[in-house]
Amino acid sequence: MAEKQSAKRRRRDNKEARERDKAARTGESPAQQAEAVREREADAALRDAERRTGLDGSVGGDTARGRRTS
């Protein structure tokens, strides 16, 4: 019975610690920061793909196409 009570106390203490950390944090949460990074990378990949295919209004499309790299 004592083990059960100590486990319950540990869970309660851990929950309180998480809530204190959450309350002390300012700005974006780690999940929000990760989502912002994913969105920026996806936007950059889309812009790069448009640039390479010439869909962004630029002239020439992929300038590396047809070149030998070595």
Q: Give per-residue pLDDT as tens, 54-64.
A: 666 666 555 55
Q: Is residue 66 part of a domain?
A: no
The mean pLDDT of 20-41, rounded to a whole number, is 89
Q: Is residue 22 part of a domain?
A: yes
3-state secondary structure of 27: coil
Domain with 32 in it: 2-53
Overall number of domains in the chain: 1
Q: Is residue 65 part of a domain?
A: no
Instruction: Tell me the C-alpha to C-alpha distance, in Å, between residue 67 and each of 22, 53, 61, 63.
Output: 53, 16, 14, 9
pLDDT at 18 over 80: yes
In this prediction the pTM is 0.41
pLDDT at 13 over 90: yes
pLDDT at 14 over 80: yes
